[in-house]
Amino acid sequence: MKNYCKTYIIPYYDTSIGNFLKPEMILSYMAETSTWHIDALGLGNDTLHDNNYAWLLNRWEVDISDYPRAKEEVIISTWTTGFNRFYAYREFIMKSSENIELARASTIWILVDSTTKRPKRIPIDMIHAFSTDNGKMVERQVDFKQYNSYLYTKGKEIYVRKSDIDNNNHVNNVRYLEWMIDSTDDQILNNYLIKNISIEYKKEVLYDDRPIVNFFSKEVNNEIIYNYKITSMDNDHAFGQIIWRENR
C-alpha cells in the first residue's frame, strides 16, 4: 500500500476566527491519517505494543497554501518515501473536495523501544509492508544547529495538562506548535497567516516538566519569521520556525 487517503469534515471546534481550520489541526489531521495508515497495514498500536515499539516524531516541514473552513471536506493522502536504520520518512498532502491543494508536509519519524526510548532498527518486514514512493512534498528549509546561539525573548512558563499527554505518555507533538503560536505577538496573530512551519523535536516533554517558549522574530520581504526554542531546566525540547504572511 503506497498511498493511504482519509477524508475529514471540518467541525467548528477545530476552527478559529472566520471559521478557518486552525494550523495546528492541519498537523493533527495529518498525524491522525498516518495512524490510520499503519493500522490498515496491520502495524498499528496493538502490534507496536506487542513488540515494545513506538514511533516518535522528529521533524515537521509544512507548507500551507490555503485554509479550509468549517463544514468543508478535506482529503489527506500520506505515503512513505524511505527508511534509514531507525528513521522513516513520511509525506502528506491535504486537498479540498475540488482537488485543490491546501497544504503539504514532509516528516521524519524514529522507531524506538517504548520503554527505554532508545532507537530501534526498523525491521525489514515492516519496511516491505509500507512500500515507498519517491514523491517528497517539502524540502528541509531550516538548519536548527545554530538555534542555541540566538538571543531569545523569554516567554511564559507552560503548565502541562493531563489532556496534553498522548498514548506514548508524553506531550503530543501538536501541542508544541500550539505553544509556539500562543507565544506570538497579538498583532501578528490578528493580521497574518501561517505560510510555513518547521519543527524539530529534541527531547520529549513529560507531565511534570515546566517548559518555557523562548522566541525572537524578524521581518524579511514583507513576511514575519518567528524562531522558537522550547526549554525546561537544562533541556532543549524543540526548535521551531514559523513564517507568517500578511492576511489580505
- Confidence class for position 151, pLDDT limits 50, 70, 90: low
The model's pTM: 0.92
Mean pLDDT of 18-35: 96
Average pLDDT, the chain: 92
Please, which residues bridge with residue 111 across strands? 55
Mean pLDDT of 186-209: 95
**What local confidence, expressed as pLDDT, does residue 1 receive?**
59
Give the residue extent of every domain in the chain. Answer: 1-140, 142-248
User: What is the CATH number that goes with domain 1-140?
Assistant: 3.10.129.10
**What local confidence, expressed as pLDDT, does residue 131 receive?**
78
- Residue range 55-78, pLDDT digits in tens: 999 999 999 999 999 999 999 999
Q: Which has more confidence, 131 or 33? A: 33
Residue 150 confidence (pLDDT) above 80? no
- The beta strand positions in the chain, using DSSP E, are 3-9, 53-64, 73-84, 87-96, 101-113, 153-157, 192-201, 212-220, 223-232, 235-246
> In which region does residue 99 sit, left (phi positive, over 0), alpha (psi from -120 to 50) or beta (all else)?
left
- Confidence class for position 45, pLDDT limits 50, 70, 90: confident
Q: Which CATH superfamily is domain 142-248 in?
A: Hotdog Thioesterase (3.10.129.10)
Domains 1-140 and 142-248 are alike in CATH topology: yes
